[in-house]
Structure 1
Amino acid sequence: MSDSRITTPFGAQSTAAEVIAGVDLLDQRAIVTGAASGIGVETARALARAGADVTLGVRDIMAGERVAREVAASTGNDRVRAAVLDLADLGSVRAFVADWTGPLHILVNNAGVMAPPLTRTAPGWELQFATNHLGHFALTTGLHDALAAAGRSRVASVSSRGHLRGQVDFDDPNFERREYDPWVGYGQSKTANILFAVEADKRWAADGITVNSLHPGAILESNLKRHMSQQEIDAAVASGQTFKTPEQGAATTVLVATWPGLDGVGGRYFEDCNEARPHAAGVTGVAEYALDPEAAARLWQLSTELIAKAG
């Protein structure tokens, strides 16, 4: 991977506005999940600023509509709207897909939950695996025809360096037999986000659909940390970990979703606006297991089976 690693003019401190400068999305339609707060808002703002028609997929429609109005006002683009999307609820995902008509050029799978107490969705799935991976899997596969209809489209799968906390446990992904650890569960779901991009790009490249994954960076101004204790937050700050603003955190997402230099480049994992190096030491880079094509194919099969079984 190192010989063909994609590099860009941007870096860790770049903002979404800087990355998307000069990009024209006037004739394009985009969906951003989890766009009622944090980097989702700034991702939607950047796409709207470039002229895209943007739909915010949100659980809280009132919060989503407030954000849509604010983004429209700040960008001068009134083609920004909110729609109900609860990724932990397959019925909600299917309703969202059924309501979508016409082509889709950009899908940003941004929504997520991090390290909650053990919680199960209606089919019995662990909440992080259900929301971060399975819900987005159902959404993206459900929108495949719309993405293909665009002629050339992109999917950005927002993962995390948290994927370094663990692989997908194919024998017990929903913690039915092993002891639940919220951070292991988070790591599993974020590895799944990367593996999804690997397999989706392989399957769909011929349809003109490019799929990549990314780590946006650590952001303190985010609802994602709502299940973290103040002690955990303080420890992260004390460790010397570098934090980004939401505008900087959205930059790598926007790069993956729009940067012209990535046309036709898929199945890769990005951080700090560049393709990540293989993980070796420290907390940066991408784990080899997260890019394993055999694991990616196995996860696709497992996900298909779980969703079919859920009815």
Structure 2
Amino acid sequence: MTEFNLITTSFNAKSTAADVVAGVDLTGRRAVVTGGASGIGVETVRALAGAGAEVTLAVRDVEAGRRTADDVTATTGSKQLHVAPLDLSDQASVAAFVAGWEGPLHVLVNNAGVMYTPERRTREGWELQLATNHLGHFALTTGLHAALAAAGRARVVSLSSVGHVETPVDFDDINFRRRPYDPAVAYGQSKTANALFAVEANRRWSDEGITVNAAHPGAVLTNLTRHMSTEELDAAVASGYEFKTPEQGAATSVLLATSPRLEGVGGRYFDDCNEAARYVPGGPRKGVADHARDPEAAARLWQVSLDLLAAA
């Protein structure tokens, strides 16, 4: 694997989305934020809209999306907000969103996700967390590839998680057909997939001016944690997690989507508004694991994803 000089910024874990976008002018740029009606998605939308971008909230709950759009307009003055239905676990919904998009796309923040869900499967038989967190976003982003290329300088942000350190992608049983289902393992695998997507998408598309990076937003108490028990949340606190506000949780995504410092930078993994160091097994649960930046695994996942979509 290629070693990089880690990119650092003046921001940190305490920085907010508003902090990192201050002074950035996004006038004339168009953005899509999946899951833009809840959690850190709301603050991602607010920061992008506040900087002048035209933002589409791609959401399962359209009414919640409209309420969020109204709130963002009230706080930023921006009226360049749109709401469109998108259920990432439903490939027909993803295809409809892609078909409905017109014109260039400058920023795509793949923010939506599910976490620690009970064992559930999509119509195709795919495990829900992989289907939503990775395959849905894979289909969306590849479907919007032409729009991203048309923008000239486009950025894609793939939200991963430190949970990826728990497991690589199990290519022999990616949908838990044979191994016992474990919500945490399934989540970790999907988040590794999000990081690997950034590696391979950037390799394929950087020559077209499209840069793709992965982000760990940090621990934020949002609706994402609804499937975690009180004991699991307590254990997370006991292990040293410092929970962020949604405004802080959105900061790394917004940094990757907007910072002039990151022009032309891609295929990397960031946390706390800086490029992450290598995760050392057995050490602190922080950084990026080797299996989440392995170019061979990234290329293999891309082909497996194409094959799954083609067979759907």
Give the TM-score category using the shorter length: over 0.9
Q: Deviations over 1:137-168 (max 9, x none)?
A: 00000000000000110000000000011110
- The 2-side partners of 1:195 and 1:48 are apart by 29
SS at match of 1:156: strand
- The 1-side partners of 2:81 and 2:229 are apart by 35
State the partner residue of 1:28: 29
- Check conservation: 1:2, 1:277, Cα contact below 8 A: no
- Check conservation: 1:216, 1:272, Cα contact below 8 A: yes
Residue 239 of structure 1, CA deviation = 3.0
- The 2-side partners of 1:138 and 1:170 are apart by 19
SS at match of 1:212: strand
State the partner residue of 2:272: 272
State the partner residue of 2:97: 96
Residue 233 of structure 1, CA deviation = 1.4
Q: Deviations over 1:210-249 (max 9, x none)?
A: 00001000001x1100111122112222333111000000
Q: Deviations over 1:116-139 (max 9, x none)?
A: 100000000000000000000000
- The 2-side partners of 1:3 and 1:111 are apart by 28
Structure 2 unaligned blocks of 5 or more? none
State the partner residue of 1:258: 258
State the partner residue of 2:129: 128
State the partner residue of 1:245: 245
**After TM superposition, what 4+ stretches of structure 1 lie above 3 angstroms from structure 2?**
none
State the partner residue of 1:209: 210
- Residue pairs, 1:73-92, within 5 angstroms: 73-92=74-93
- Check conservation: 1:26, 1:51, Cα contact below 8 A: yes
Structure 1 unaligned blocks of 5 or more? none
Residue 190 of structure 1, CA deviation = 0.1
- The 1-side partners of 2:238 and 2:277 are apart by 26
- The 1-side partners of 2:12 and 2:246 are apart by 15
TM-score normalised over the length of structure 1 = 0.98
- Residue pairs, 1:1-311, within 5 angstroms: 4-220=5-221, 222-280=222-280, 281-310=283-312
- The 1-side partners of 2:58 and 2:23 are apart by 26
SS at match of 2:277: coil
RMSD: 0.8
Whichever residue aligns with residue 135 of structure 1, its letter is G
Whichever residue aligns with residue 170 of structure 2, its letter is D
- Check conservation: 1:218, 1:242, Cα contact below 8 A: yes
Residue 2 of structure 1, CA deviation = 6.0
Residue 171 of structure 1, CA deviation = 1.1
Q: Deviations over 1:162-216 (max 9, x none)?
A: 0011110011110011110000000000000000000000000011100000100
Alignment CA distance shift 1:258-1:305 (3 Å): same
- The 2-side partners of 1:193 and 1:4 are apart by 22
- The 1-side partners of 2:127 and 2:188 are apart by 13
- The 2-side partners of 1:230 and 1:36 are apart by 25
SS at match of 1:4: coil
- The 2-side partners of 1:62 and 1:296 are apart by 36
Percent identity between matched residues is 68
Residue 3 of structure 1, CA deviation = 5.2
- Check conservation: 1:162, 1:190, Cα contact below 8 A: yes
- The 1-side partners of 2:4 and 2:293 are apart by 16
Whichever residue aligns with residue 243 of structure 1, its letter is F
Whichever residue aligns with residue 278 of structure 1, its letter is R
TM-score normalised over the length of structure 2 = 0.98
What count of residue pairs does the alignment treat as equivalent?
A: 309
